[in-house]
Amino acid sequence: MKFFVLAAVFAVAAASSYKAAEYAPKYEAKYEEVTYAPQPYSFEYDVQDKESYNDFVHSEKSDYNVVTGSYRVALPDGRTQIVSYKADASGYNADVKYEGEAQYPEEPKYKAASYPAPAYAAPAYPAPAYKAPAYPAPAYKAPEYKAPAPAYKAPTYSAPAYKAPTYSASAYKAPAYKPAPAYPKY
């Protein structure tokens, strides 16, 4: 017991004198947002895919402050949408134009299909003919015993012998009554 107390005191003393190494690196997290000056750019692409009916062109260029561009899209109604835009410090301005005229194919008129009434001949089936089942008479064979047949002895029963009960006269004695004690009157 004394050993455990002494070990606990020693552990507390050692923990209080512990000092972190002075050569350990110290890190400080600093976050600085880096902003870059606007850079001029220019791009253009064109997509024409007949299988998916995609057909569009997009081009855009920018100097340091103003972005200008345009794109063309083939619409499903046969027209081409042309959007020219300009984005600068005053906002985004777009000019939308359409080339061509919208064409909508006429829907085919609905005509109910007419079919002749089915002409089926009634099937000819012969009447069912059932035969009565023929059951052969059961043929049982008597069992064959290879050992001699067991011989059982019939049990013998004897008539029960009952003894008539004997009764003795009652030994009851009537109680003797004593007079009640007299209670004092108050």
Domain holding 88, by residue range, is 41-99
d(CA 74, CA 26): 62
Q: How many domains does the chain have?
A: 1
d(CA 73, CA 80): 6
**156 within a domain of the structure (yes/no):** no
d(CA 177, CA 155): 64
Q: Are 51 and 44 in contact (CB under 8 A)?
A: no
d(CA 115, CA 121): 18
d(CA 71, CA 97): 11
Query: 45: how many CB neighbours lie within 10 A of its CB?
Result: 10
**123 within a domain of the structure (yes/no):** no
Residue 55 corresponds to which amino acid?
A: D
**58 within a domain of the structure (yes/no):** yes
Phi, psi of 88 (to 5 degrees): -145, -160
Stated as kind and residue range, the H or E segment containing 6 is helix 2-16
> Structure pTM?
0.39
Name the band, by pLDDT with cuts 50, 70 and 90, for residue 17: low
**78 within a domain of the structure (yes/no):** yes
**24 within a domain of the structure (yes/no):** no
Regarding predicted confidence, which is higher, 6 or 112? 112
**186 within a domain of the structure (yes/no):** no
Residue 104 corresponds to which amino acid?
A: Y
Terminal C-alpha separation, the chain: 79
**pLDDT tens, position by position, 133-185:** 888 888 888 877 776 666 778 888 888 888 887 877 777 777 777 777 777 66
* Tokens (6 digits) for 123: 């099937």
What is the SS3 assignment for 5?
helix
**10 within a domain of the structure (yes/no):** no
Q: Please give the share of the chain, as a percent, with pLDDT higher than 90.
A: 19
> Tell me, what's the pLDDT at 84?
95
Q: Are 109 and 87 in contact (CB under 8 A)?
A: no
> Tell me, what's the pLDDT at 95?
95
**pLDDT tens, position by position, 103-129:** 888 888 888 888 888 888 888 888 888
**153 within a domain of the structure (yes/no):** no
Query: 68: how many CB neighbours lie within 10 A of its CB?
Result: 14
